[in-house]
Structure 1
Amino acid sequence: MASPPPPPAPSVSPPVPPYVIALADDLSGAAETARALGGPVRLSLAAPDVAEIAAAHDLVVDLNTRHLPPAEAANAVRTALRAARTGPPRLLYKKVDSQLRGNLAAEAAVYAEGAQAVVIAPTLPAARRTVTGGVVHVNGVPLHRTDGWRAERAAAPRSLPEALSGLPVCTVPLDVVRSEPAVLDAEFRRIAASGAHPAADAETDADLDAVAAAALRLGPGFRLLGSGGLAAALGRALVRPATATPAPSPAPDSDPLLFVVGTAEPGAVAQIAHLAALGAHHVPLDPADLAAGTVSLPRTAVAPALTVFSIDGSAGLRPGAGRALSAALAALAAAYPGRPDLVLTGGETARTTLDALGIRELEPLGEIHHGAVHSRTPDGRRVVTRPGSYGAEDSLLRIAVALRPRLAAATAAT
């Protein structure tokens, strides 16, 4: 009697490349991702750098597509993916906004081309942004019931499938994400086999760790798309040589520090008030004057130690005006006397300011608080980038003290 045939050998996924190419749609998100991945990293503001034959480091590229028409944004992602194929094998990561802003549907559709599936998880626990039932929540409130899209031209999407319209998406419930790894793997495979892409519910870093680990087990055909939270989970899951990043030394106290606050978030007013209490020179700028290009700075022989440029949003802002206002703020920052270190809030403001100054690369050094990434330019200038919607009331104060430790004593006295 013939013996039964042996069971089929389990399928073996291709080896996982140890380093990442991450594509972001704005600069603050790119900087957040660079720190979240946790390995040696280069942060580039030049899309052609995707084609570099890289050494042992991650590469995060700001494609600067948040403001582009959808077709142009999609083409930028397609060009970057084509360039990535010319270098050594890398894991691909697509950074998206945790509140689903930008050209999410157009960019995700292109990012999915050639992939077995895209695993989607925009949860960001550090900012209390979660996903349950396929719906993004901010502080427990569904995104479409918050004011997170007040500066956008459209209404916030009611769910991930709606935000990713045109890309077939299947929600993975939280109980499946928290089940045994084999169960989660099987669900991702089932969804991929159906021609759809898994969108995972997640509330905690542990949930994101499970999602990232499952994607890695299934091989590089499963690409990841998410916020800085999922990028951090990917960084924790990858096994890479330890790197030692020297602690950033503070700049001389005599160097000026310029804050360019390009966000319309209401909390920015209170954040700026903490700096004003330290004697910062605050320059609130009328949006109409900024857009018309009629703002000019008074000439001074010596720049103040702390200066804050901000947009006066007391009368409300016109939706869709952000790009023009960021460009005007950038022009003022570039004309600022001397060579100040910079604190830039809002991804678009950060990018336009660095473009105006001709800065094309950043070396991330550390994180002052969640999302506030401290970097160094090739010529030694210090730059802190932070998404506009991040940070508690003392966010800007904490950044100022980290860059200028002498301010700590003044802070204690106020």
Structure 2
Amino acid sequence: MALVGKGNNMVKLLIIADDFTGALDTGVQFAAGGAETRVVTNTDYDFDSVDENVQVLVLDAETRHLSRDEAYRVVFHITKKAFESGIPFIYKKTDSALRGNIGSELKAVLDAASRTSLHFLPAFPKMNRITRNGIHYIDGVPVHESVFGKDPFEPVADSYIPEILKGDVPVTVVRNMKDWKRAPGIMVYDASTDQELMEFGKFLMKKGELTVMAGCAGFAGVLPSLLGLEGEMPRQVALGEKFLVACGSVNPITVRQLDYAQRQGFTRIRMAPHQKFDTGYYRTPEGEKTLKDWKELCSRSNRAIIDTNDLPGRSDTFDYACRQGITMEELRVRISSTLGYVVRELIGEEPDSTLLITGGDCLTGFMAHIGRDEIAPVCEMAPGTVLSEIDIGNRTFAVITKSGGFGGETLMVDLAEKITGCKEDKRLEKKEENKYVNTVYA
């Protein structure tokens, strides 16, 4: 028998994401249409205490890098609590490149909600991510053959979704509505256009099948109209005239975006290995001077990048980590935390900054250092690129976020033009237009 909630909550939809940028690029699908939307990071969040105006609550469960069993427990706990609080619809947000513990997390939603079937629509056509015959494609190639098959932390080993999910729960591939028949377990839907997603959504809504569902920002984009989650258009957000990009992603797509931005005049600061692993470094005389120099560089430029990637063809960070006995998991966590600390220090000196953070782990590290667990998505500035607001102290900052794999090569420059209203950083002297800061590695 399915759980029956109390029904005393204004929240109509709970979205459970496995990382922060994914939580935002899905939540913004509702915020952009006027639905009051909040993104939170507390997995023990009290659903009964949420602001009465909030219609869509997005919870970043941070399960992407957990073990399968741990991810199951976290998602099960959240789902069960949500239904008991009276939230009628649950959306398990999955990575659009199929990274993470997808099978165990979908099973957790099924088990916690006491349902027999869960509908999974993984396509994101706007980002060239489609599903055909149960195989997931990115930019026309099977996902395991794309850059996501080479992800250093979460490589995708297969493109056939039933194979990815096998062992967790029975899987059925649905190619069209004509042959639809409810099946136990996970029902995976083919789709290559937004129209197909909408048609499946309407079909499932009529059958009362949308209580528990899963997908990425693609299917989430059709839900506002289906679930009646729309309202007044979002307010205008004041953007600071300076643009600071913080990169914690190693995705080649983001790296190309940064390289292009640098060629177009962005000041680029690359952190050396010993500067990435410990915030304590910035309390040493050398670290204090380094941070002071970076602040000065950022103050002189309207467009700056703080980057954790090594120079092309180099593996200095990995080599340094090996010498220090730092595991890959520690490397990921420590770099994200340290970059979050550095970003906090840099924007503290620049109250008129607009911040862009790429990579969910980096965003999590930043939020931890500013002591915040809630952020409000407003709109998309480009597909998969989300503008949000966050309160820091007595100020409200505009923060742009994106996953590492989203966007074309010119994205950073295009965003800078929207923010600063010009094509070049006029504050840079000619000799510094392609300023490249590379700290000598110790």
TM-score (norm: length of structure 2): 0.78
Deviation at 1:285, TM superposition (A): 2.4
Structure 2 portions without partners, runs of 5+: 1-6, 319-327, 434-442
Tell me: CA distance 1:285–1:87, structure 2 relative to 1, closer, same or farther (3 Å).
same
Q: Which amino acid aligns with 1:30?
A: A
Name the counterpart of 1:3. Answer: none
What do residues 300-334 of structure 1 show as CA deviations (whole Å, max 9, x unaligned)?
47542332111234225766543332223223223
Matched AA of 1:170: T
1:399 paired to 2:415: yes
The question of 1:373 aligning with 2:373 is answered no
Structure 1 residues 36 and 221 mapped into 2: Cα distance closer, same or farther (>3 Å)?
closer
Kindly provide the amino acid, as one letter, of the partner of residue 306 in structure 1. Answer: R
Distance of 2:49 and 2:91 partners within structure 1: 18
Task: State whether residues 18 and 239 of structure 1, in contact with CA within 8 Å, keep that contact through their aligned partners in structure 2.
Answer: no
1:41 aligns with 2:41: no
Q: Distance in 2 between matches of 1:381 and 1:100?
A: 31
Alignment-derived partner of residue 163 in structure 1: 164
Partner of 1:327: 337
Number of residue pairs the alignment of both structures matches: 382
Q: Cα gap change, 1:269/1:196 in structure 2, threshold over 3 Å: closer, same or farther?
A: closer
Residue by residue over 1:324-369, the C-alpha shift from the partner in whole angstroms, topping out at 9 and shown as x without a partner, is 3222322322332525432100111111112122122111121110
Query: How many angstroms apart in 2 are the aligned matches of 1:330 and 1:98?
Result: 25
- In structure 2, what is the equivalent of residue 12 of structure 1? none
Q: Which amino acid aligns with 2:67?
A: P
How many Å apart are 1:44 and its aligned residue?
Answer: 1.5
| 1:222, distance to aligned residue in structure 2 (A) | 4.6
3-state SS in 1 of match to 2:270: strand
Decide whether the 8 Å contact of 1:287 with 1:325 is kept in 2.
no
Q: Residues 48-81 of structure 1: CA distance to partner in whole angstroms, max 9, x if unpaired?
A: 3352354341111111221222222222212211
Change (3 A) 1:397 1:331: same
* Matched position secondary structure for 1:77: helix
Match in the other structure for 1:144:
144
* TM-score, scaled relative to structure 1: 0.83
Pair 1:375–1:292, CA change in 2 (3 A): closer
Match of 2:370 in 1: 357
Is 1:284 aligned with 2:270? Answer: yes
Alpha-carbon shift at residue 408 of structure 1 (Å): 6.9
2:375 aligned counterpart, secondary structure: strand
The root-mean-square deviation of aligned C-alpha atoms, in Å, is: 2.8
Task: Give structure 1 regions of 4+ aligned residues with deviation exceeding 4 angstroms.
Answer: 292-295, 300-303, 316-321, 406-411
The 1:145/1:269 distance shift into structure 2, 3 A limit, reads: closer
Q: Which amino acid aligns with 1:333?
A: V
Return closer, same or farther for 1:18/1:79 CA change in 2, 3 Å cut-off: closer
How many Å separate the matches in 2 of 1:131 and 1:123? 6
Pairing 1:268–2:266 present: no
Does the CA-based 8 Å contact 2:268-2:306 persist in structure 1?
yes
Tell me the amino acid that sits aligned with residue 124 of structure 1: F
Equivalents in 2 of 1:164, 1:345: separation in Å? Answer: 28
- Structure 2 partner of 1:130: 130
Q: Of 213, 223, 227, which residue of structure 1 is paired with 2:212?
A: 223
Does the alignment pair 1:87 with 2:85? Answer: yes
